[in-house]
Structure 1
Amino acid sequence: MSSWQSLPTELKLTIISALHPDDVDSLAKTNQASYQACVPARFRSIKLNDINALQRFLENVPRNYCSNIDTLELATHDKDHAAPTHISLRERSDAVISLLSACPRLASLVLRVSGSLDSSVVAPFPALSNLKQLSISNVSNEDSAPLSERLVVAIAASCTNLQDLSLDRITRSELHAPELQGVPYIPLVRGDEDVPDHPLLGSDLRLPSLLRIPTLRKLAIRDTHLGDEHWSITPIACRLEVLDLGSCYHENEDYNRCCTERIMAAVGPTVDEFSLTTAVSNDTLFAKSSETPLHKLRKLHITPFFPVDSVVETISNLAGSPIETLSMQCYEDDVVDVCTALEEFLTLKLERGSEFYKKLARVNVSVTAAGYAASEEEVEERTKAAKRLQDFCRQLRVASAVDNYGAPQRPVATSRRASMSFAVEVGVSTSKSASPSTRPIGKARSMTLY
């Protein structure tokens, strides 16, 4: 220990940063000086799974320790969603404000809420100058506990250097969606007029106003109503490189398709990577290189929620873009249908000549496990379908990868993006939900409270 104690602080921190979290914990217990040296590593990544964990953290952790937090996962809901709660909306919001105000180095934030928070929760975000990644999701039912688009847009626009924004299950505000008033199957937020005006956006805190955030480069919006016509008329100040649009489960496929195409047309000129959930039927706008707004699109991802029957048509309708990589994710039961659809597309490519998808260099298929063991007949059928697809790709000099789908795997329980696979070799790449263990994977530095 005398040799360790004689090392300069900078060297100690370098050594600690290379240790496994368990080893960091062991070192921290040796003496007070080592404990203090281990604080930055132990508090670099924090995960608080419910409001009780958040409150315990605030009560027991010295406030100055929070200045080391780089990555934070934060939940404001109760551990038991069904149990009656004694914690008010204001108390939950104050807890979030208290923690965020103590995290000046925060770079990545995942915020999971049960419905909306008090509008005062916007206050600490302008001071988080290092915050570049932000994810906000509503874990509750929209009908009973909606999360206002006005609050979410105000938070996002208040982050001065935000680059990566992911939103899940955000609810339209009645102020910005008068056309939806009286529509029984579309939930709306009422009473969110108290969300303060933003210095840049003013009171126009609607989802399309996200395009006015100049630093934004990645945008994902899932399970959210995207019917606001302002998507096509809002002045665009950002240069989106990655776009991930999900469908709204309150609307039908045709409506979701129209919404997706409207947003694609608006932000397309800068998009390099696009994740698609709904079909694209507009062949006049996107199929010709001289007319398509997606003239920089190189990577196209199709999610497992995409209608298989529309695969060939949709990919063909995007032929105006210089797509190099085509990735499809599907469930185990759909492996044969997806491989067959991709074969049909490649046949079409062969028939139309070298100019049709001339940049295409790779076709990937990733498989989300069903959670049960497939029969030998099912595995054999899927194996044959995958082999046919890969053989066809080789003939066209297109690289390909198909997941190993025969063994039982854990079903994906996180977002669609989390289960995307970009494997370069055949292998299982199904994502797994987080373990309740406090031991992080690899060299991750994290603390998890339940």
Structure 2
Amino acid sequence: MWSTLPTEMRLAVVENLDSGDVKNLSQVDRDTYTACLPSAFKNVKLGNLRALQSFVDNVPRSYCRYIHLLSLCTESNGRNTDQRSVTEIVISILAASPCLEELVLNTGGSLHHSIISCFEHLSRLERLSIHNSGPEELKPLSERLVVAIAASVPNLKRLSLDRVSRSLIHAPELRGVPPYVPLVSGDDNIPDHPLLGADLYLPSLLRLHTLRQLIIRDTHLGDPRWATVPVNCKLQVVDLGSCFHENENFNSACIQRIMGAVGRTVDEFSLTTAVSDAVFAKPSVTPLQRLRKLHISPFFPVDSVVDTMSNLAGSPIESLSMQCYEDDVVDVCAALEDFLTIRVERGAGFYEKLARIDVAITANDASSPLDPDEDAECKKAEQRLQELCRDLCLASRFSKTLPSSAASRLARSTGFVVTRLPTLGDGRVRSMTL
């Protein structure tokens, strides 16, 4: 019965199976094995340089055409590696993956600039994440490299950057002065880009007309050109984090400058610092004229919640979500109650479109749980806020997530996405878990 089904129907069946079932089904016969390959290689995660090398050595290049989501990490577990050779390994995978739609690249510092050209051919790639997993002081990730890569993706919609370092070429004023922000030197050999020319600084990302979502975290955003570069994109989602090396006031000023430049099209925004500029509170002049969803990160100063919300009153915000740690639940709930009290006092026109408030709580690590009294106090604070929301006809939801360490352990325990299929015929490795 199975063997008589058309190939299209067998592929449709396999696509609806989980990885374990795909592995079992692949053992039926050679034709079934072949039918399982697109599902087995649709999502590939390679967690270190050794896994990358093993994948290149053992998996036929033709199988890369099945990859839609690819997560790569170039970390070598402390061993010294040649930048050029690591780059060549990554290029060999990307060059063989024409159907790639999402790429997550974790790199210990910068790769060689020869990698830039291979992105020109990834026409289906829409979501790109580049994160520096190495020590920034020793292995910085050049802003010139990541901007050139992003500008080379033909249809880039979503860009996420983490721990990108400023280039000395573009930020000479930061050299040798407090707070001693790590800078990249020696990246002047990155060639000019056909679109951006030599202007490979972070603000040039706003010139990418296809870009709709921009996430930048743990990166210095002090380049004044954020306010002057031509904005060719229509950003809908913006998430800007603070720079560890700068103070709260500096980070706030940087984020407000970027908000002012891109805000007219933004529907969703994530805040990590307070907003003090009162211009955002005036509907007639605020740059955030379409902002409907506001997210506040767990690093946001709780005592600034009320003032910041007041300073964003010019936007038609419908949904407010806050993330916090378990230790801060009582203070966060109290701040939101104060904000809602002000909303009632000010009456019509002040957050009149607000429809829901959600709070996402990150639980403490198992080694330091809340004691019974603290836990009871948190539950009371949650209940008070939910009751106030009900009284004001606002939807609300409290959710709890695992701490990052526990989430990482859980992810490791579930294994990688790539499924190991049994070998057939000549015994060559057809797929692997790395």
Q: TM-score, normalised by structure 1?
A: 0.90
Q: 1:328 Cα shift? A: 0.4
C-alpha contact 1:410 1:432 (8 A) present in aligned 2? no
Tell me how far apart the structure 2 counterparts of residues 307 and 448 of structure 1 sit (CA, whole Å). Answer: 45
Tell me how far apart the structure 2 counterparts of residues 191 and 431 of structure 1 sit (CA, whole Å). Answer: 35
RMSD of aligned alpha carbons: 1.7
Query: Which of 45, 48, 53 does residue 47 from structure 1 map onto?
Result: 45
Per-residue CA deviation, residues 274-331 of structure 1 (Å, 9 max, x unaligned), is 0000000111x10010010000000000000000110110011000000000100000
C-alpha contact 2:417 2:433 (8 A) present in aligned 1? no
Query: Which of 237, 241, 247 does residue 236 from structure 2 map onto?
Result: 241
- In structure 2, relative to structure 1, the CA distance for the partners of 1:77 and 1:440 (3 Å cut) is closer
Counterpart mapping for 1:16-35 below 5 A: 16-35=14-33
Query: Which of 384, 388, 396 does residue 400 from structure 1 map onto?
Result: 396
C-alpha contact 2:343 2:350 (8 A) present in aligned 1? yes
Counterpart mapping for 1:36-435 below 5 A: 36-78=34-76, 80=77, 83-85=78-80, 87-184=81-178, 185-283=180-278, 285-372=279-366, 373-403=369-399, 410-413=402-405, 434-435=411-412
Letter in 2 for 1:296: R
C-alpha contact 1:223 1:247 (8 A) present in aligned 2? yes
Q: 1:449 Cα shift? A: 4.2
Q: 1:356 Cα shift? A: 0.5
Give the SS at the match of 1:434.
helix
Tell me how far apart the structure 2 counterparts of residues 40 and 141 of structure 1 sit (CA, whole Å). Answer: 37
C-alpha contact 1:130 1:161 (8 A) present in aligned 2? yes
Per-residue CA deviation, residues 23-47 of structure 1 (Å, 9 max, x unaligned), is 1111212222211111111111100
C-alpha contact 1:48 1:448 (8 A) present in aligned 2? no
C-alpha contact 1:196 1:203 (8 A) present in aligned 2? yes
Letter in 2 for 1:392: L
Letter in 2 for 1:202: G
**Which of 307-316 and 432-441 deviates more?**
432-441
- In structure 2, relative to structure 1, the CA distance for the partners of 1:276 and 1:117 (3 Å cut) is same
Q: 1:346 Cα shift? A: 0.5
Tell me how far apart the structure 2 counterparts of residues 222 and 159 of structure 1 sit (CA, whole Å). Answer: 21
Letter in 2 for 1:52: R
Q: Which residue of 1 aligns with 2:427?
A: none
Per-residue CA deviation, residues 34-62 of structure 1 (Å, 9 max, x unaligned), is 11111111111100001110010011001
- In structure 2, relative to structure 1, the CA distance for the partners of 1:431 and 1:267 (3 Å cut) is farther
Q: 1:448 Cα shift? A: 7.2
C-alpha contact 2:43 2:417 (8 A) present in aligned 1? no
Tell me how far apart the structure 2 counterparts of residues 448 and 341 of structure 1 sit (CA, whole Å). Answer: 50
Letter in 1 for 2:380: K
Tell me how far apart the structure 2 counterparts of residues 241 and 431 of structure 1 sit (CA, whole Å). Answer: 30
Tell me how far apart the structure 2 counterparts of residues 248 and 223 of structure 1 sit (CA, whole Å). Answer: 5
Per-residue CA deviation, residues 201-254 of structure 1 (Å, 9 max, x unaligned), is 001000000000100000000000000000000001100000000000000000
Tell me how far apart the structure 2 counterparts of residues 432 and 402 of structure 1 sit (CA, whole Å). Answer: 24
Using the aligned pairs only, state the percent identity.
55
Q: Which residue of 2 aligns with 1:5?
A: 3
C-alpha contact 1:438 1:448 (8 A) present in aligned 2? no
Letter in 2 for 1:326: L
How many residues get paired? 419
Letter in 2 for 1:209: S
**Which of 14-23 and 108-117 deviates more?**
14-23
Query: Which of 408, 415, 433 does residue 438 from structure 1 map onto?
Result: 415
Tell me how far apart the structure 1 counterparts of residues 9 and 404 of structure 2 sit (CA, whole Å). Answer: 41
Tell me how far apart the structure 1 counterparts of residues 105 and 56 of structure 2 sit (CA, whole Å). Answer: 17
C-alpha contact 1:126 1:158 (8 A) present in aligned 2? yes
Q: TM-score, normalised by structure 2?
A: 0.94
Per-residue CA deviation, residues 357-377 of structure 1 (Å, 9 max, x unaligned), is 000000111101111332211
Q: Which residue of 2 aligns with 1:419?
A: none
C-alpha contact 1:147 1:170 (8 A) present in aligned 2? yes
C-alpha contact 1:331 1:369 (8 A) present in aligned 2? yes
- In structure 2, relative to structure 1, the CA distance for the partners of 1:232 and 1:439 (3 Å cut) is closer
Q: Which residue of 1 aligns with 2:426?
A: none
C-alpha contact 1:163 1:216 (8 A) present in aligned 2? yes
C-alpha contact 1:133 1:162 (8 A) present in aligned 2? yes
Give the SS at the match of 1:97.
helix
Q: Which runs of 5+ in 1 are unaligned?
A: 415-429, 442-446
- In structure 2, relative to structure 1, the CA distance for the partners of 1:366 and 1:395 (3 Å cut) is same
Tell me how far apart the structure 1 counterparts of residues 347 and 51 of structure 2 sit (CA, whole Å). Answer: 60
- In structure 2, relative to structure 1, the CA distance for the partners of 1:84 and 1:439 (3 Å cut) is closer
C-alpha contact 1:412 1:433 (8 A) present in aligned 2? no
